[in-house]
Amino acid sequence: MSKHTLATLVAGLAILILLPFTQSNYGVFVLCSWLVYSISAMGLNLTLGYAGQVSLAQASFMGIGAYTTALMTMAGVPWPAAMIAAMVLCFVIGFLLGYPALRVQHHFLAFITLAFNALVVLMLRNEEWLTGGTYGIVGIPRPELFGLQTQKPLAFYFFVLALFVLMAVALYAIIRSPWGRAFKALRENPIRANSLGVDIRKTTLLAFAIGSSYGGLAGSLLAQLTQFIDPHSFGLTISLKVLLMVIVGGAGFFFGPILGALLIVLAPEFLRFTEGYYLMIYATLVIVLMVFCPTGLLGLVERGRTALKLRQNPNATTWEAGR
């Protein structure tokens, strides 16, 4: 990591720490949901952007995480245990769901995960004795840190921010590790990766499972943020929303999903004045975006950078100019 990048990161973190003080309670809530969705999108980015597996089930992992945390904390289990349990459960389920990924890929995997998401929502809705059915669960407690309550929006924001930074650093470490390189090799060329000794089976499953556990954590934070969950919050639309965050920001770029989440979470706030036409405008924007920059915004930046380098040094091949 260069000095330049490090300085940018520190500045970014400083902004994230100072920003909530200028915001109303609602502003802090929006910031919190951005961070929460960023965590979920980071996980999906590992599955999709780095390991190249299309998943439409991220919201179902958020749901599993949210219900696990809610049910356990309300039954008196301390919050760290509940949140870790949520992550572990999602890891295991993601690992099991990843098995189909070994048999089928691409659009087939998209359909399997889509069906899985729909099944999870059905169960959340129908098993009323456990999940409260369509009425959901109300009054989920927020965690207590060193005797400090995070009931206030600002305190909870810093709790979420700390976990966000922790998960981002963890993801960075995973991507830089031999595992992470194996993920990338798998995405670029599965056959070559296999011939170089990458265990496709293990690597794919791991990417899926780790990505899912990120979704689980995001779900548990979402449950504590809104203090109310129902099956509707974890439907297919939410999975698509998270997928869109990854694609809009730029799949396979570390900061892609974080940028994407910012845009997708803020878009409704900016388009609020359009009222009923909001979803139509939103859908049109997505189509336009897909047509003009399918690699996402960071992909667009990267393309611009390469073009600039090529202009400075016309003899360089695209690859030499930094791909």
Q: Does 54 bind other proteins (CB under 8 A)?
A: yes
Q: Which stretch binds other proteins (CB under 8 A): 138-146, 256-264, 277-285, 304-312?
A: 277-285
Site string for other proteins, 234-253 (x = CB under 8 A): ------x--xx--x------
DSSP state of 146: T
Q: Does 12 bind other proteins (CB under 8 A)?
A: no
Q: What are φ and ψ of residue 97, in 5° steps?
A: -65, -25
Query: Which of 9, 74, 92, 118 touches other proteins (CB under 8 A)?
Result: 118
Q: Does 93 bind other proteins (CB under 8 A)?
A: no
d(CA 211, CA 218): 11
List of residues 6+ apart from 1 with CB closer than 8 A: none
Query: Which of 84, 286, 300, 321 touches other proteins (CB under 8 A)?
Result: 286
What b-and-e string marks burial along 232-258, b requiring 16 or more CB atoms within 10 Å of the CB?
Answer: ebbbbebbbbbbbbbbbbbbbbbbbbb
CA distances from 127 to 100, 120, 124 (A): 26, 11, 6
The three-class DSSP label of residue 228 is: strand
State the CB neighbour count (10 A cutoff) for residue 167. 19
CA distances from 155 to 143, 177, 278 (A): 10, 33, 32
d(CA 222, CA 214): 12
Amino acid type, 69 = T
Is 20 or 260 the residue whose CB approaches other proteins more closely? 260
Query: Which of 12, 78, 80, 294 touches other proteins (CB under 8 A)?
Result: 294
d(CA 206, CA 91): 9
Is 121 or 210 the residue whose CB approaches other proteins more closely? 121
Q: Does 108 bind other proteins (CB under 8 A)?
A: yes
Q: Does 112 bind other proteins (CB under 8 A)?
A: yes
Q: Does 101 bind other proteins (CB under 8 A)?
A: no
Q: Does 119 bind other proteins (CB under 8 A)?
A: yes
d(CA 167, CA 251): 18
Query: Which of 15, 146, 291, 311 touches other proteins (CB under 8 A)?
Result: 291
d(CA 149, CA 39): 23
Is 275 or 314 the residue whose CB approaches other proteins more closely? 275
E strands, 2-83, in order: none
Q: Which stretch binds other proteins (CB under 8 A): 4-12, 28-36, 159-167, 274-282?
A: 274-282
Q: Does 283 bind other proteins (CB under 8 A)?
A: yes
Query: Which of 14, 81, 173, 280 touches other proteins (CB under 8 A)?
Result: 280
Query: Which of 29, 95, 172, 282 touches other proteins (CB under 8 A)?
Result: 282
Q: Does 147 bind other proteins (CB under 8 A)?
A: no
Q: Does 196 bind other proteins (CB under 8 A)?
A: no
Query: Which of 7, 17, 104, 266 touches other proteins (CB under 8 A)?
Result: 104
d(CA 41, CA 307): 29
Chain residues binding other proteins by CB under 8 A are: 54, 100, 103-108, 110-112, 114-116, 118-119, 122, 125-126, 190-191, 194, 200, 240, 243-244, 247, 276-277, 279-280, 282-284, 286-287, 290-291, 294-295
